Amino acid sequence: MRNAAKISTLALLVASLSACSAGPDYQKPEKVESINLSQPYQQAEQALSWWQAFDDAELNQLVERALAENRTLAQARANVDRAYAVFRDADNDSWPKGTLEAGYQASENNTLSADDDDVITRGYSSGANLSWDLDLFGKLRRASEAAEAQAQQADILWRDAQVRLISQVATSYGEYRGAQLRLKVAEENLENLQQSRAIVQARLEVGMASELELAQIDVQLHRVKASVPAYREALSAADATLSALLALEPGQLELSAEPQLPALKRPVAVVNGENYLRHRADVASSERLLAARTANIGVATADLYPNLSVRGFLGFLSGPGLTLGSETQSWSVAPSLSWQAADLGSVKARIQQAEASAQMALAQFEQQVFDAINEMQLSLNSYNLSREQQLNTEQQWQASKKAVEIARQRYEAGSNEFLDLLDAERELLSSRDQLAQLQQQSFIRLVDIYRNFGGGIQLSGNKI
C-alpha cells in the first residue's frame, strides 16, 4: 500500500509538472493599429470559381487544367503533406517510445585470466527497449505547437498558391487575347492606310498629288508594319507562359483566333463593413508563422530547467543454451536527469534568438496587414481609373473614325489638304491601338482585384 501511494504521488507530481509549458502562451493579434483582425482566416467561397463570372469557356478550361496539372501547385500540396507529417512526428515525441530487439553475441577470451583462454561465450537477448522523456517543462509540447502552426501555414500557402495560379492564368490569358487584339488592330489599320494610299496614288497619277504626299503615307504604313513583330512576340510570350502554367509543351496550347477579351456582365461590388482581410492567405500565413516563432521561445526556454527521462528493458537474456523461460527473464529501469547548468549562457542566447525571431515575425505580420489593405484599395482605384480611361478612349476612337472619313472624302474631292488627312489617320491609328491596350489593362486590373481580395469580391447582386 505504501509503495502504491508513493507511485500515485509520483505520477501526480509528474502530471502536474508536465502541465506546465515554458515560454509565453500565444495570443493571436486582434488588431494592428485600428485594423480589426478578430475574424479567423477563411478561404472565400468564390476563391476557386470567380473566373467563371466572365462566362468564357476557354478561360474555364485553362484554369481547370492548371489546377489539375500545374507542378508548382503540386509542390505546394506535397509541402502540406510533408508539414503535417512533421507535426505528427513532433506530436508523438511526448509519448513513450519502444523498439523490439533480438541479438546474439559470441566472444572468446573475454578476460585476461588464464582460465578463460580458448573459452567461447555465447549469449542471446530479446525484448523491448523503452524510453520516455517526461517533458516536465513543456519543451516537446511547444515543439509540437510550432510544428502544427507551420503545417497550418503550409496549408494556407497552398490555398494561396491556388488563388495566385488562377490569377496568373487569367492574366496571361488576358495578355494573349490583348496581343491578338492589337495584332488585329494593326492589320485593320494597315487596311485603312492602304485605302488612303490608293487615293494618294490615284491623285498622283493625274497630277493632283505629290511624291511627298505618297512618301508621307508610306511612312505611316511602315510604322504600323514595324509594330506587328512586337505584337507577335507578345503573343508568343503569353502562349509560352500559359503553356508553362498548364504543364504543356510549346505548341500544344490551342486557343481560338478570335481576339475577344473577357468582360463581366455586371460590375464588381465591395460590401461596406465586410472584413476582406480574412480572405487574404498571405496575412493568415504570416500569423501562423508568428504562432510558430512564439512556440519556439518555449522550446528554447525549457532548456533552463532539468530534463527527466526514463530508459528501460523488458525481455529475456540467455546463455549458450539459448533457452527462454522464467529463469532468463530480465528487466531494467534507468531514470536520468540532465540539465544544461554549465551552458546556461548559450541557453539564454538561444532564448534571445527565439524572442528576436518572434519579434521579426510580428513585424512581418503587421506589415503584411498594411500591405494587404493598401493593395486592395490600390487595385480598386487602378481598375476604376483604367475603366474611365478606356471609356474616354473609346469616344476618342469613334471621333477619330469620323474625322478620317470626312478628311478622306474631302481630300478625294480635292477640297482638303493632305496634311489634314495624314493627321486624322495618325490620330485614328493611335487611338485604336491605345484602346486595345486599355481593354487588356482593364481586364488584367480586374483580375488583380480578385487576387488582392483573395477571391472574395462579388458581382453586384451576388453574395460571396
The per-residue pLDDT for range 300-336, each reduced to its tens digit, is 999 999 988 899 888 877 766 556 666 678 888 888 8
Cell of 382: 487602378
Of 121-125, 180-184, 258-262, which gets the smallest average pLDDT? 121-125
Q: What share of the chain has pLDDT > 70, as a percent?
A: 89
Of 34-38, 104-108, 240-244, which gets the smallest average pLDDT? 104-108
Residue with grid cell 500569423, as numbered in its chain: 287
Cβ atoms of 457 and 450 within 8 Å: the answer is yes
Cell of 349: 542566447
* Stretch 362-390: mean pLDDT: 94
Give the number of other CB atoms < 10 A from CB of residue 13.
11
Q: What is the pLDDT of residue 98?
A: 84
* Stretch 81-95: mean pLDDT: 91
Q: Which residues contact 187 (CB under 8 A, 6 or more apart)?
A: 228
The per-residue pLDDT for range 102-159, each reduced to its tens digit, is 877 777 666 666 666 666 677 777 888 888 888 889 889 999 999 999 999 999 999 9
- Cα separation, 440 vs 260, in Å, equals 10
Q: What is the pLDDT of residue 4?
A: 47
Q: What share of the chain has pLDDT > 90, as a percent?
A: 45
pLDDT at residue 464 is higher than 50: no
Question: Hey, which of 52-66, 118-132, 195-209, 262-276 has the most confident mean pLDDT?
Answer: 52-66
- pLDDT confidence tier of residue 251, bands split at 50, 70 and 90: confident
What global pTM score does this model have? 0.81
Of 69-78, 202-211, 362-371, 394-403, which gets the smallest average pLDDT? 202-211
SS3 assignment, position 39: coil
* Stretch 214-237: mean pLDDT: 89
Average pLDDT of the chain, as a whole number: 86
User: Domains, the chain, ranges and CATH?
Assistant: 15-95+136-305+344-459 (1.20.1600.10)
In which element (H, E) is residue 133 found?
strand 120-133
